[in-house]
Amino acid sequence: MKSFLNLLLLFPILIHAGEPRPNLILMMGDDHGWEETGYNGHPYVKTPVLDEMAATGLRLDRFHAAHPSCSPTRASFLTGRHPNRMGTFAPGWSFRPEEITMAHLLGGTGYRCGHFGKWHVGAVKKESPVSPLAMGFHECLSHDNFFELNPSFSRDGGPPEVFPGESSAILVDETIRFLDRAKDEGKPFLAVIWFGSPHEPYQGLPEDLALYDDLPAKYPDKMVKLTSNETGGSVKRPLGDVLRERYAEITAMDRAIGVLRKHLAGSGLKENTLLFYCGDNGTSPDGFRESPHRGMKADFYEGGTRVPGLIEWPARFPKPMATPLRASTSDLMSTVAGIAGVPLPDRTLDGIDLMPLLAAGEKERPAPLFFWGYDIPALAARKPGPYLDPELQKGTTPLVKKMGGIATRNFDNLKFPGITEADYGGARSIIDGRYKLLVRDQRNGGAKRELFDLEADPGEGNDLATQKPEEVNALAAKLRDWQASVLQSLTGADYTK
């Protein structure tokens, strides 16, 4: 990686001579599913700011998280690579220090890079080799995992500090100070804001809760399992009470984004700043009401990966626009690099630069989208050692939800002992054009294949696998070839380029 970073230092900074380089703010909600926005027709949740962004900017109607859970999606967001390439298999699994992030790319050519909020791809403390600072960001106010009201954050890898207030507002206030400093220094900026909302356990401000006071009476009987704010352990509560608190968090996050937008407009930064928002996976089961898409968080159906996707950038998209082009968090690295005019690293990437496709009005993605939940038990059975010193993987920032009796989070990443047939297992899917193939291993051996026509059946209710065996076989072959590429990356082969 050092040779690549040296190349960046030599790369001409004045790529667009005479033109200011675009600023970038990339935001992501935590467990915020596609259907939980006003602009996508939700009957209850109030998101006036996201709705305005959808009405005035670019609406990505078929945007996907690269994985139906959080840590893997975040790894894809930063690197442009599928998380299995770097061993980020599931929530609480870190990525590897050899990975190259968008902060490495832009920071090496004059951008000021900051991270704010949830990290969850490794420990945020200074000594961690996969902290925000170690992975290319110049400054950060970050948490190892998720957070609620009055959160604890680590500033620049230091000891955790409690910040009184609503967490989304805190992050936006910190980001605004970062933007202003970069502007004063005459530097373009990359700000990555990963909110803690609306992940459970839910906590809302009184004024936000009051907006949803009628919901408990609408859903009095169904009980859902989530974390108790009082004990940090598991509890069952009525869905209506939970939805009231969840939607209050979404509305507070939406309001904080509005504060950021107003600041961009008032400081003269709005025109040449790309402002992006998405979710990290589908709606979580504890806050699920209903959706036009099958499945939810952790599922490889559309409901597990379809998330809100919005871009505001007046200089490039001066008029409202909506696109059916399928895109994912893996595309962000290549897209950001293209916008900033910096070279991509010489290693396998899963994402593509979306801007040329959007500029041309393309509706079809030129390459498939792939999803894969790696079979962790199959690897664990081979007893591989840790990829990083476990002491360096210990988190420091506390949260409400306890695991193993502790209120902090530790991370995993394992050495990969070599490719075997068992490594191809786990739920996986491919979307190529209108068709989606979903493959899931069966307990009695073999695999179940489901084929869906997403144009005619976006809810994935009609399995066409027996009717279209040639389509199934063709997609299965592409999926297998892609998996082989991913496993080759997992061996570390990309790090020797």
Task: Decide whether 2-367 matches 371-387+413-496 in CATH topology.
Answer: no
For the chain, the structural domain boundaries read: 2-367, 371-387+413-496
Between the alpha carbon of residue 484 and those of residues 235, 376, 425, the distances in Å are: 42, 17, 12
Ordered DSSP codes for 228-247:
-TTTSSEEEEEHHHHHHHHH
Nearest in space to 43 (alpha carbons), one of 242, 324, 291: 291
Spatial separation of the C-alpha atoms in residues 324 and 95, rounded to whole Å: 31
Residue 169: Cβ-neighbour burial (10 angstroms; 0-12, 13-18, 19+): middle
Spatial separation of the C-alpha atoms in residues 349 and 57, rounded to whole Å: 27
- Tokens 């079979």, residue? 375
Task: Calculate Rg over the CA atoms of the chain.
Answer: 22
CB count in 10 Å sphere of residue 345? 23
pLDDT tens for each residue of 451-491: 999 999 999 999 999 999 999 999 999 999 999 999 999 99
Q: Give domain 371-387+413-496's CATH number out of 3.40.718.10, 3.40.47.10, 3.30.1120.10, 3.20.20.140.
A: 3.30.1120.10
pLDDT tens for each residue of 44-81: 999 999 999 999 999 999 999 999 999 999 999 999 99
**pLDDT the model gives residue 73:** 98
Check whether 16 has a pLDDT greater than 60.
no
Check whether 372 has a pLDDT greater than 80.
yes
pLDDT tens for each residue of 141-184: 999 999 999 999 999 999 999 999 999 999 999 999 999 999 99
**pLDDT the model gives residue 436:** 98
Taking the whole predicted model, whether its pTM rises above 0.85 is answered as yes
pLDDT tens for each residue of 350-369: 999 999 999 999 999 999 99
Two tokens, residue 71: 């840590």
pLDDT tens for each residue of 200-223: 999 999 999 999 999 999 998 999
**pLDDT the model gives residue 446:** 86
CATH superfamily of 2-367: Alkaline Phosphatase, subunit A (3.40.720.10)
Check whether 497 has a pLDDT greater than 90.
no
* 10 or 261, greater pLDDT: 261
